[in-house]
Amino acid sequence: MILRPVWKLKETQIYKPLKPICALNYSLYTKQCSTSHSHKLFEEMPQRDPYQLNNKPISEYTRNGFNNEALHLFVEIHGSGMPIEGPDLSSVLKACACLGDQVFGRGVHSVCVKKREEVDVGVGTSLVDMYMKSGWVDEGKKVFDEMPERNVVSWTSLLVGYTQNGMVEESLEVFCGMQVEGIKPNPYTFASVLAALAAANGAAEKGNQAHGQIIKLGFESTTFVGNSLISMYAKSGLVGESMLVFESMDNKDAVTWNGMIAGLVVNGFDVEALRLFRRMRLAGVKLSRPIFATAIKLCINLRELGLARQLHCRVLKIGFEYDHSIRTALVVAYSKCGEMDDAFGMFSSMDGLQNVVSWTAMISGQMQNGSIEQALHLFRRMSREGVRPNHFTYSTILTAFSAISPLQIHAQVIKTAYDNSTSVGTALLIAYVKLGNMNEAAIVFRLIDEKDIVAWSAMLAGYAQIGDPDGAVQLFREMLKGGFKPNEFTFSSIINASAGPMASVEQGRQCHGSSIKCGFSNALCVSSALVTMYAKRGSVENAHKVFRRQTDRDLVSWNSMISCYAQHGYGRKALEVFNELQSQGLRIDDITFIGVITACTHAGLVDEGRNYFDSMIKDHQIDPTMELYACMVDLYSRAGRLEEAMELIKGMPFPAGATVWRTLLGACRVHLNVELGKLAGEKLISLEPQDSAAYVLLSNIYSAAGKWEEKAKVRKLMDGRNVKKEVGYSWIELKNKTHSFKAADRSHPMSEKIYAKLQDLNIRLKDSGYCPDTSFVLHDVEDEHKEAILSQHSERLAIAFGLIATPPGTPLQIVKNLRVCGDCHTVIKLISSMEGREIIVRDSNRFHHFKEGSCSCGEYW
């Protein structure tokens, strides 16, 4: 092993004998004065003799923290050719460990080998300690294995080394191994093994065993062992056990109090932590820097701004105002409590010493206070000043995705190697999900190294958002195979995915069953999702049952039930639920009134709907949104009061959006108002030139009015802009298989039987007095051909298949991606009576429950 070049330089020096008086004075100084003074006198000596060089000053240096001086003095002694005893070697190795200078340490190791001092238990232990603290774990273990004699300190050094290097399992193996060898652990050993257990997951049982040994050996009265027990239990989530240890300790120091308070804070017992902090103040315990940092964090959790200010004053009085951790904690406290001026003042006073925590606190505070642009400015400034963002910073700034593209942040995340981080990856995929970019979200999700349940739930929510139930189910099964236990948010996401029109009915029921089995069916977010799911699957009764079983209801639950009744045409029931909601004292929002006005719309309750709209503004101080205005336009339009709808649009405080004009255009098609329809169509086409609905609805108005030339112009404009008309489909689910149909479809394997059933239905319909309404055929063809076209609409094919594929009396549920035409609506009412079936049709607008010749919509659809 080659030592540092400075060693060779020192070896050329010649030392002469010292005068006795100088040696005497030096001896006195080392006994009575500080080490720095003794070193000064030593340097002033005109001559140095071998005796004085080897008078053990190295240990004095290391004991008082002068590690660099210890190394320099060791070089001089070694260069003099004088023998160096084991204690000096141990001391210089300790200095190397404290400085993290493994190169110098290896040089000392070579000296130990030459002098055969490595066999000394003290030197060997120091070598183990030096290598472990320098991160050279294998070398430290090798030295330990080659030691001919090992004592409790040697074993403890190895155990501590493994713990410090994050090798928890190895630490526990060493603890067991030393006892097998007959080495009795000392208090420091137990403190070290408890630290290892605190860092391990699910190590509470082993911690209890270690606690038992501590009591058996009589170490429970040792303060630092008790402190380690408190930390171990608190980090394992066993707050009760931690508190028992705390209360049993006779000699509590500042570390004890801080450890217990911090343990309560980490486990969410903030109120209890505050009480203990007050107990500590009454006990007269001197406030230390760590206690201040913990107490300020407690203020953050409890939003106790007043206490935070008191602590700030105390910090100034004691003189801790320049402590970096305390100042950072105060920045976080003020920003979390919304006091951004105070936070910024404290942040600025740090004079360029701001770290990533203080920067992130300021960014987070600005985000919470709605100052998105200011948060982005701080984020950019942070990077310019050379402070590298961490995973908390990236996770925070990604919530500002509406003001900044996640692609920009994603690039930085990859550069800084945080793309595999759980928190950053989850924040990224949530940002992509909100943008509807599921491809990027899926890529980010797959790259996360350690996916937690939050990441899985966020990805499931993404599939629910884009209406991909198959993708959601596949991911859910993958999650279960991976050993992850779903929580209430996971079930909420998968149930929401099961509510989509493409999801199977059975899938929703299975999800409900799984939530019951896992004990989450009564969780608020799960039960609210179940109400919505059953409502969208056409099962109003099941939605009502889930709603009534809820012990606690938030506004989402009430809104879900109101919306359920509204979409199914049960307007009066929706209003009953709304009246019940008002008696609960909950603050009502705009979503509530969207459900209420929709209920009035589908029940033809025009005046009631207008009254609710006025009450929303006057009594509840809710400003109407674009969606609410669209609901009001729909309310007037369905009732044929198109002029009132137009007056409402003119009185809006902002320009009407596409939803408003689309609603009016659809009503103009129903009520054949060509002029108003032309205006609405032109407005809609200008706003959304690629939306096929605008062209199709306007074309249908012209067709119904016999204005074939105008229709041709619209179609030509549509073709010129390469806008494709959406193909109409209807589908029905039987035995977990979905059967889809389009108009005049003959691709189904049972096509011949389906058309035979249609022919039979047509004969019976005409016998009952049915006369086809050919105005719904928007083609310039003969009436006989129009009748044939009507009889082959996709919903009729789906119903015919359902009638022949299910036992008599079985309810049928049909889904259609477009609106049901008026003639089909009449026909389905007659079929429900003739066949004795309940037929539920979910079209693009609402649900229709056909039973015994009538529909739940009351013709307001």
Estimate to the nearest angstrom the gap between the alpha carbon of 10 and the chain centroid.
Answer: 60
**In which residue ranges of the chain is pLDDT below 70?**
1-57, 115-119, 201-203, 401-403, 775-786, 860-861
Place of tokens 């080392």: 30
* CA torsion, ordered 847, 851, 854, 858, to nearest 10 deg: -30
Task: Decide if 531 contacts 546 (C-beta within 8 A).
Answer: yes
**Kind and range of the H or E run holding 210:** helix 204-217
Instruction: Compute the distance between CA of residue 126 and CA of residue 157 in angstroms, rounded to an integer.
Output: 8
CATH architecture of 1-149: Alpha Horseshoe (1.25)
* CA torsion, ordered 416, 421, 423, 424, to nearest 10 deg: 30
Three-state SS sequence of 46-80: CCCCHHHHCCCHHHHHHHCCCHHHHHHHHHHHHHC
Summarised one tens digit per residue, pLDDT across range 237-277 is: 889 999 999 999 989 999 999 999 999 998 989 899 999 99
Estimate to the nearest angstrom the gap between the alpha carbon of 689 and the chain centroid.
Answer: 38
Instruction: Compute the distance between CA of residue 814 and CA of residue 841 in angstroms, rounded to an integer.
Output: 5
**Kind and range of the H or E run holding 738:** strand 737-742
Enter the tokens of residue 37.
Answer: 């003074």
Strand partners, 813: 840
Q: Each residue of 276-311: b (16+ CB within 10 Å) or e?
A: bbeebeeeebebbbbbbbbbbbbbbbbebbebbbeb
- Burial class, 433, CB count within 10 angstroms (exposed 0-12 / middle 13-18 / buried 19+): buried
Q: Give the CA radius of gyration of the chain.
A: 39
Residue 527: which residues within 8 A CB-CB, separation 6 or more? 521, 546, 547, 549, 550, 557
Predicted local distance difference test score (pLDDT) of residue 456 = 93
Predicted local distance difference test score (pLDDT) of residue 22 = 32
Task: Decide if 567 contacts 598 (C-beta within 8 A).
Answer: yes
- Burial class, 752, CB count within 10 angstroms (exposed 0-12 / middle 13-18 / buried 19+): exposed
Instruction: Compute the distance between CA of residue 60 and CA of residue 375 in angstroms, rounded to an integer.
Output: 52
Task: Decide if 494 contacts 511 (C-beta within 8 A).
Answer: yes
Q: What is the DSSP letter of 741?
A: E
Task: Decide if 464 contacts 533 (C-beta within 8 A).
Answer: no
Instruction: Compute the distance between CA of residue 13 and CA of residue 50 in angstroms, rounded to an integer.
Output: 13
Predicted local distance difference test score (pLDDT) of residue 788 = 72
Predicted local distance difference test score (pLDDT) of residue 118 = 55
Q: Which of 359, 375, 304 is nearest to 334 (CA)?
A: 304
Task: Decide if 269 contacts 252 (C-beta within 8 A).
Answer: no
Enter the tokens of residue 595.
Answer: 């459900």
Residue 534: which residues within 8 A CB-CB, separation 6 or more? 508, 540, 542, 543, 546, 564
Estimate to the nearest angstrom the gap between the alpha carbon of 578 and the chain centroid.
Answer: 33
CA 73, 74, 75, 78 dihedral sign is positive
Instruction: Compute the distance between CA of residue 584 and CA of residue 36 in angstroms, rounded to an integer.
Output: 76
DSSP letters along 444-498, please? HHHH-SS--HHHHHHHHHHHHHTT-HHHHHHHHHHHHHTTPPP-HHHHHHHHHHT
Instruction: Compute the distance between CA of residue 141 and CA of residue 148 in angstroms, rounded to an integer.
Output: 13
Instruction: Compute the distance between CA of residue 95 and CA of residue 618 in angstroms, rounded to an integer.
Output: 76
Instruction: Compute the distance between CA of residue 389 and CA of residue 394 in angstroms, rounded to an integer.
Output: 7
Enter the tokens of residue 759.
Answer: 């022919």
Predicted local distance difference test score (pLDDT) of residue 119 = 60
Instruction: Compute the distance between CA of residue 201 and CA of residue 205 in angstroms, rounded to an integer.
Output: 11
The sheet with strand 737-742 has its strands ordered as 737-742, 729-734, 812-816, 839-842, 847-851, 854-855
Residue 150: which residues within 8 A CB-CB, separation 6 or more? 121, 124, 144, 181, 183
Q: How many residues does the chain have?
A: 861
**Kind and range of the H or E run holding 607:** helix 606-618
Residue 633: which residues within 8 A CB-CB, separation 6 or more? 645, 648, 649, 660, 663, 664, 667
CB atoms within 10 A of CB 170: 18
Predicted local distance difference test score (pLDDT) of residue 779 = 52
Q: Phi/psi of residue 208, each to 5°?
A: -60, -40
Task: Reduce the DSSP state of residue 35 to 3 states and report it.
Answer: helix
Instruction: Compute the distance between CA of residue 492 and CA of residue 457 in angstroms, rounded to an integer.
Output: 9
Q: Each residue of 105-115: b (16+ CB within 10 Å) or e?
A: bbbbbebbeeb
Summarised one tens digit per residue, pLDDT across range 759-803 is: 999 999 999 888 888 766 655 445 556 677 778 899 999 999 999
Strand partners, 729: 742
